[in-house]
Amino acid sequence: MLGTPELIIVGIIVVVLFGATKLPQLGSGIGDAIRNFKKGISESEEIEAPKDSSKKEEIQKKESD
């Protein structure tokens, strides 16, 4: 387990590596990534491939537009 001195050292290293101005952007980026990951896991819908070729053609048309 990390104690207070270790956390302070890690914090200083992070500030030195990324700079104080980039930390808010880094934090929001990590937060968005975690949020999207949780959202993706919690969705119960699975993407199913169309079974007949007419639906495949329709989907391919929509994707190419």
Question: Which pLDDT score is estimated for 46?
Answer: 57
Phi-psi region of 17 (alpha: psi -120 to 50; beta: other; left: phi over 0): alpha
Token pair for residue 3? 């104690």
Q: Around Cβ 14, how many Cβ atoms within 10 Å? A: 14
Q: Give the residue extent of every domain in the chain.
A: 1-43
Does residue 12 contact residue 19 with C-beta atoms inside 8 Å?
A: no
Residue 62 vs residues 4, 9, 14: alpha-carbon distances, Å: 55, 52, 45
Residue 53 has pLDDT above 60, yes or no: no
pTM: 0.48
pLDDT, one tens digit per residue, over 30-48 is 999 999 998 888 875 555 5
